[in-house]
Amino acid sequence: MKEFALLTDSACALNKPMRDRFGVDGLVYGAITYPDGTTTRGDLEWEKTTPEEYFGGMASKKHIYKTSCANVSEIHDLMESFAKQGKDILMIDISHALSGTYEFACVAAEQIRKEYPDIKVRVIDSLRYSTALGMLVAEANEQRKLGKSMEEVADWVEENKIRFHQMGIMDDMFFLARTGRVSKAKAFFGTMVGIEPMADLSTSGLSEVLGKAKGKKNALRATVDYVKATIEDPKEHILFICHSIRPKEAEYLRATIEAEIGPKEIIVSSVDQFCGANIGPGLAACFYYGKKASENLEEEKVLLGNILAGK
């Protein structure tokens, strides 16, 4: 069976050790513009700063970071490096609703097909971002390890990508609203003292607020109950907990989920710089494989509403 390369972009939230572990053959990097106006490639390894410095500076809302995606030429060059080796290419990108990467990757893929007629290229809009994207790529690698062809793996990803969920707490939705991730009205509720917005990933590729909990303790408990109700085959899949300088909340989620759900493995990590610029401080969320998301998350809204109401 022909060998193929598994590619993604820097919104995947996977550092170098995790990319090696999960079979990521290459990725394209977006750029980050810092508050002082300098622009540099996104740093998934946290070599130039720490999460505490990065997100801590954002807490005052005076430190604003801007992101931009890789261009067509950069994506083409990455793809070509594998096409020259005779490898087919599967690239899984951040949701089209959040970035232009997918659109640019489709253009680059068409160029590669013309230049290398014997190379097959598939580009997939993950409808996901950050750790959910990273998980999807990791699961694609698991399918590849089973001996499936590039087309078979790509079809599996398309069929199952809306099974990858997020649920947790978000202290302040200012940064999500600033970049159009949520409406300004929903962001307002996210700034009310004692109110914790709770969101999952929709079938349209955005993070959708399903409900609001009163108090962090209630929100964390509701998170675990929501994960319990929507997760599938936890013994077969890794569950990620990702946070932006919320280690205590992340540890609560880890310990409680380990005791009550017992997934195959739990990995706790920081939100990456690239997605973090649009998330800001205050996130502590679980990312996991579960039931297929319903249209407009209608079923999930009812579910979380019942959980929050104590039903």
Q: Long-range contact list for 202-205, CB < 8 A, 24+ apart?
A: 202/127, 202/293, 202/296, 202/297, 203/127, 203/162, 203/293, 203/294, 203/295, 203/296, 203/297, 204/97, 204/127, 204/296, 205/95, 205/96, 205/97, 205/98, 205/125, 205/126, 205/127, 205/128
| Digitized pLDDT (tens) for each residue of the chain, 311 residues in all | 789 999 999 999 999 999 999 999 999 999 999 888 899 888 899 988 899 999 888 887 777 888 899 999 999 999 999 999 999 999 999 999 999 999 999 999 999 999 999 999 999 999 999 999 999 999 999 999 999 999 999 999 999 999 999 999 987 666 665 655 554 445 444 454 457 889 999 999 998 889 989 999 999 999 999 999 999 999 999 999 999 999 999 999 999 999 999 999 999 999 988 888 888 888 999 999 999 999 999 999 999 999 999 98
Output the six-digit token pair for 52.
Answer: 């505490």
The neighbour count for residue 58, using CB atoms within 10 Å, is 24
Output the six-digit token pair for 98.
Answer: 């959040």
Output the six-digit token pair for 238.
Answer: 């890794």
The answer to whether the CB of 264 falls within 8 A of the CB of 237 is yes
CA-derived radius of gyration, the chain: 19
Closest CA to 288 of 206, 214, 185, 200: 200
